[in-house]
Amino acid sequence: MCFDNCVPISPSRTIAYEVLRRVEAEGAYASDVLHAELGSRVSPENAALATEITFGVLRWRRLLDFSLDRQLKKSIAQLDLPVALALRIGLYQIRFLDRIPARAVVNESVELVKRARKVSASSLVNAVLRRASARTTDGPREPLAREIATLLPPDLPLAERVGILHSHPTWLVDRWLEPLGESRTIAQLEADNRAPHLSCAIHDPARRAEVLAALAATGLRIEPGVLLASAFSLSGGSPARTKAFSEGLISIQDEASQTIPLLLDVHAGNRVLDVCAAPGGKTPPLARAAGAKGIVVAADRHVHRLRAMSKQFQRLALTGVRVVELDATRELPFARTFDRILVDAPCSGTGTLARHPEIRWRLRPEQLSEFHALQVAMLSSALKQLAPGGRLVYSTCSLEPEENEKVVEEALAAAPEIKRVAAEEVANTLKAYTAPGIDPHNLVDPSAQFRTSPAVHKTDGFFAAVLLRT
């Protein structure tokens, strides 16, 4: 709504502001809120700009706040949320986006504050952003990080300096510096600050050429997958608006995530359990591999996530999957064992900071031990349900050892009948699916654990251990 004498605000900035407000005030995830906000009535241009502003502000929040704090009498963290968001949105556009006129940015940022009933702060927002825009008109725009680097004390600890310049919390940078070293850590941070590939899975490989041709005809740009022969990435629009998506021919899913269910090596007729299945992206290939004679159970402890997952299965025409509500940390309520079990455990998500940048500002160091305890309980419970000769895959989208190898080590110490599948066998399982030029052995470490890195593989960072009951 626009009142008398107000400045009209573009839909892109209005949407970005509302998404960022809900992320901060409600703990929502930006990708979920954006998906709901970017309906068919929003033009592709406005959708693209809203997405750019939203994720740009989230990724670069620490650097933006450092710059803004130098111009404010009190920290931006002490400002009312609408004021802080308007400043971040404005400064991000001024310093990171070249094609947007600074005057429009300033005016609309001021209007955002007014519409949030913070009129008294409008002069502050106006003054701060006008000063920022004035500096960009003196010549070629200098990257904000380079400018800030000249202002940091020379004796500032490395983790603090790198954390500011690459916009990550210091504690997370510090824990990555020790095992990775400075150059590899910075490569990881840079990967987190790039927009990730919009990767898709094709559910019927026999129709690949037909599906890709139809997507290309809508104006979308298509590139082959980086890990999997069946995967591809899109740009230039939203695949969720296409007929191929609505008809269940494709799904939006990171390639590393697509790879996880393939590690289970499901055969026709297998009994398969997906312990933490929601939102349901890894269940479809399990169901298709098990076939009509197989049994596939998709479980989760939250009813609302089960409902959303059921709708996903309807879109994909997966009618045979049995959806079950359960607490995977407790003894599982099944009388029979399963030939294949997937435990894609809830985790910190540090391998998805490019896709979900808000995680870096929410996560706390003490939560890693909490996740560890939860994950050990889930894995230990699931292992008891594994049939002799059966295979289990434990996976996370975390880069942290507490959630990955240390979970597997603790669970195996209490289950001597469970062994790791050999590295060569894990690589051979993947060999049938990898893209040309990809050696599956390079995706498996000496401990036979599957790993991907955002910096190395241009995917989310995933971990998986493949286990066998002897």
pLDDT digits (tens, 9 = 90+) for 154-199: 999 999 999 999 999 999 999 999 999 999 999 999 999 999 999 9
Q: What local confidence, expressed as pLDDT, does residue 261 receive?
A: 98
Round to whole Å and give the CA distance between 86 and 151. 24
Low-confidence ranges of the chain (pLDDT < 70): 1-6, 136-141
Q: Would you give the end-to-end CA distance of the chain in angstroms? A: 66
Q: In what order do the strands lie in the sheet with 221-224?
A: 221-224, 232-235, 198-202, 250-252
Q: Helices then strands (H, E): number in the chain?
A: 20, 12
Q: What local confidence, expressed as pLDDT, does residue 137 receive?
A: 56
pLDDT digits (tens, 9 = 90+) for 349-376: 999 999 999 999 999 999 999 999 999 9
Q: Report the predicted TM-score, pTM, of the whole model to 2 decimal places.
A: 0.94
β-strand partners of 463: 396, 451
Nearest to 242 by CA among 230, 234, 232, 231: 234
Round to whole Å and give the CA distance between 89 and 387. 54
Up-side HSE of residue 415: CA atoms within 13 Å toward CB? 23
Round to whole Å and give the CA distance between 214 and 210. 6
H-run or E-run covering 31: helix 30-37
